[in-house]
Amino acid sequence: MSLSERKVKILQAIINDYIATAEPVGSRTIAKKYDFGLSSATIRNEMSDLEEMGFIIQPHASSGRIPSDLGYRLYVDSLMQQRDLVENEKSFLHGMISENVNQIEYLMEETAKMLSAMTNYTTIISEPIIKSTRLKKIHFMRLDEKNVMIIIAAEGNIVKNHMAKMDYLPNDDELYSISGVVNQCLEGQIMESIELEAIEKLHKNLPGYDELITATLKAMQKTVKSSENLQLHLSGAKNILAFPEFSDVQKAKSLIQTLEDKESLKNLLTANTVDGDEVQIYIGNESGIEEMKDCSIITTSYKFADNITGTIGILGPTRMNYSQVVSVLNGMVKNIEVVVKNLNNQNDKEKNDS
Amino acid sequence: MSLSERKVKILQAIINDYIATAEPVGSRTIAKKYDFGLSSATIRNEMSDLEEMGFIIQPHASSGRIPSDLGYRLYVDSLMQQRDLVENEKSFLHGMISENVNQIEYLMEETAKMLSAMTNYTTIISEPIIKSTRLKKIHFMRLDEKNVMIIIAAEGNIVKNHMAKMDYLPNDDELYSISGVVNQCLEGQIMESIELEAIEKLHKNLPGYDELITATLKAMQKTVKSSENLQLHLSGAKNILAFPEFSDVQKAKSLIQTLEDKESLKNLLTANTVDGDEVQIYIGNESGIEEMKDCSIITTSYKFADNITGTIGILGPTRMNYSQVVSVLNGMVKNIEVVVKNLNNQNDKEKNDS
DNA sequence: AATTAGCACTCGAGTTAAGTGAGTGCTAAC
DNA sequence: GTTAGCACTCACTTAACTCGAGTGCTAATT
């Protein structure tokens, strides 16, 4: 059986209607609402075919049809038309740029909130992962006789602190000159794989400071590790509960549990980053997470700097408004890049303000 | 009508039973389960009195009674017996110390998870608030021609970073000597209220660096501000949904919403810190949050260092196991203090390990 | 005077049965 | 190939009914 143009149109009508109403849609509804010039009986026959082909499903014998995962898949792959941002959304997004978000966590938190507000779905953002990025600078800050804070700046101006305890800690001036040597030896090294040569050089140039050197190398590793152990920002969990598909308490509970658990979400989000900057759509079971079989998640990655990227995901019921989410998501990614640029080069703007 | 000893015993029995079963408890149940040597009719009379006094409530005319907020209040204030940690809980808590949690956020996250696991309720932890604490040390880390990271260490070895953009930025060596002057002028100043005198001294000793000085002072303020804008760690939201009192979707949804909103929770948690280190219990409506009228929350504050404290809250249904939570919470607070001590003075231990 | 047994009564929860209506599949006619 | 017509299905709603846990009251008992 071939997928005639008429069938495709009917399928699209079914999906549109179901996205809007969340009710199984029947042949009569289609015949009346959409102007195909066909009777309900004909539509019925076509729907029967579409069901046989697996694009739609009948929840029970005497009800209308709902799209299957496969139906949605066809929809997002070839039926869905690109949709521009409406004025409302544009101004929403624009409003964000002006706010001075000067810490990554805040930026993430705000972005998540904004996306939930715009889409009415649930937003999940992973903080940027540092990968194969190079060391820019190290400082040592002496806190007391034993404790030193090792401050590590990576490319992209990502800065992380690590506390370390030493048996013996040099004074401030000495630490400063040590940091000079360390920087000279390690600058430009890839964080997670420091060349042996560099380490040897370090030991040679700083005899007697083995303890500090070890702590420093460990801190560099931890910087990468801790970003792998990535933080998720969740926002708008309540939104998804508002959809009728989750009025069943049991379902709602297990979904909340899955969201809270974070482990499986992480995998899903990080799977994306490999595939470049395209939007990824996981429909229903495609996510591979049992509890999310009635949900779809649309993900995309954003770039903070070279080798420093994170992922944004928007989670909704399978009948979510794919085209809206895709366009909002694309808009937001552009937006983040603008904000980051501003963050690193803000003085032009500040001059104009004053 | 006076609260005879017998009435108190019956009330206690009602509360115990209701905590265990979540079902309204009737006179016959009490007569059979507890050995008062009284018939159900007598208990019935007493229960009628207790209801009149406001300690118990009849959800509907022909059902058993459930404790009112007032009943729980009496219970926690005078009936509840202190309960020691059981072996299980002790080992649970002890397991935490050995894990090397070397960042505040992780410690909070882990603590929250652990408390949820131990109690089966929902845990809310606020990160420590820095208040009236003094500056310990400032570093400047030059990132490029325009960007500098201002690194601020407060007492208690809390360290925060702030990025700033300058029109002109001195080189590393110059920045180092500037930081020496800044430290000399500002060390020991209370973060949120720097003496004018100190600021003047700063300007006098560092002529021509007004831009950097302004940025530094701003960063100090932000350090305090950002901790006021406190982060909440939530864990075990799913737990509370598991209780039958939240099998109503509507209730569950609005509670999740309240938890996610965080604003009202913040107020509740911070209200506590004023009252010293006692455990606070808010029963039902006492929290002042409409959506939490069927919940109780038990809070206590923990100490990170002088003037650096945070709050832990455990949220459950009003019929939660108050005595368990109180003892677990107390144990955990002690535990955190041990971990923090270890964190600041760990080398003894590490020596033993190696 | 306090306690208890007995009994009528209440009311939520669960069960059953009938009715409703949206929707289908099939067949015969167009 | 399309459509009208019709029997059939099945979730959902409503109402009536039953069940039982629990109460409140009264009269008898201790």
- pLDDT-above-90 percentage for chain B: 56
**d(C-alpha A119, C-alpha A329), whole Å:** 10
Highest-confidence segment of B39-53, B86-100, B107-121: B39-53
Which of the four pLDDT bands, split at 50, 70 and 90, describes residue B348?
very low
Q: Do B141 and A139 touch (CB under 8 A)?
A: yes
Q: Do A163 and B257 touch (CB under 8 A)?
A: no
Taking the CA atoms of residue B284, residue B286, residue B288 and residue B294 in that order, the dihedral angle to the nearest 10 degrees is 0
- Judge whether residue B48 contacts strand D, using its CB and a 7 Å cut-off: yes
Per the CB < 8 A criterion, the answer to whether B291 and B258 are in contact is yes
> What's the mean pLDDT when you consider all of chain A?
88
- Judge whether residue A41 contacts strand C, using its CB and a 7 Å cut-off: yes
Q: Which two tokens stand for residue B22?
A: 């979540």
Which contiguous run of DSSP H or E holds residue A56?
strand A56-57
Q: How far is the CA of B56 from the C1' of C15 (A)?
A: 32
pLDDT tens per residue, range B132-150: 889 999 999 999 888 899 9
Question: A75: which DSSP letter?
Answer: I
Range from A298-312, A329-343, B4-18, B74-88 carrying the lowest mean pLDDT: A329-343
- pLDDT-above-70 percentage for chain B: 92
Q: How far is the CA of B60 from the C1' of C13 (A)?
A: 13
* CB atoms inside a 10 Å sphere around CB B146: 16
> What's the mean pLDDT when you consider all of chain B?
88
- Is 80 exceeded by the pLDDT of residue A100? no
Treating both helix axes as pointing N-terminal to C-terminal, what angle do A104-119 and A87-98 enclose, rounded to 10 degrees? 170
Q: How far is the CA of A12 from the C1' of C29 (A)?
A: 31
Task: Report residues 14-43 of A contacting strand D, contact meaning Cβ closer than 7 Å.
Answer: 37-39, 41-42
What is the pLDDT at residue A242?
Answer: 86
**Residue B291 is which amino acid?**
E
**d(C-alpha A225, C-alpha A231), whole Å:** 12
Closest to A143 (Cβ–Cβ): which among B136, B142, B236?
B136
Query: Alpha-carbon Rg of chain B, whole angstroms?
Result: 27
pLDDT tens per residue, range A34-69: 989 999 999 999 999 999 999 999 999 889 999 999
Burial call B59-76: b when 16+ CB within 10 Å, e when fewer = eeeeebbbbbbebbbbbb
> CA nearest B131: which of B336, B341, B274, B306?
B306
Q: Do B236 and A260 touch (CB under 8 A)?
A: yes
Query: How do B129-130 and B295-305 pair as beta strands?
Result: unpaired
Q: Do A241 and B235 touch (CB under 8 A)?
A: no
Residue from B239, B241, B341, B343 to probe the interface with A (highest A Cβ count within 10 Å): B241
Q: Which nucleotides of D are covered by protein (CB under 7 A)?
A: 2-5, 8-11, 20-26
Roughly how many angstroms between the first and final C-alpha of chain B, as a whole number? Answer: 69
Q: Please indicate whether residue B347 or residue A184 has the higher confidence score (pLDDT).
A: A184
Q: Which two tokens stand for residue A196?
A: 């042996």
Question: B351: which DSSP letter?
Answer: H
Would you call A99 exposed, middle or buried from its count of C-beta atoms within 10 A (0-12, 13-18, 19+)? Answer: exposed
Distance from CA of A248 to the nearest CA of B (A): 7
Q: What is the pTM of this model?
A: 0.86
Residue of B nearest to A156 (CA): B143
What is the pLDDT at residue B272?
Answer: 63
* Phi, psi angles (nearest 5°) of residue B41: -60, -45
- pLDDT-above-70 percentage for chain A: 92
Q: What is the mean pLDDT of residues A185-214?
A: 93
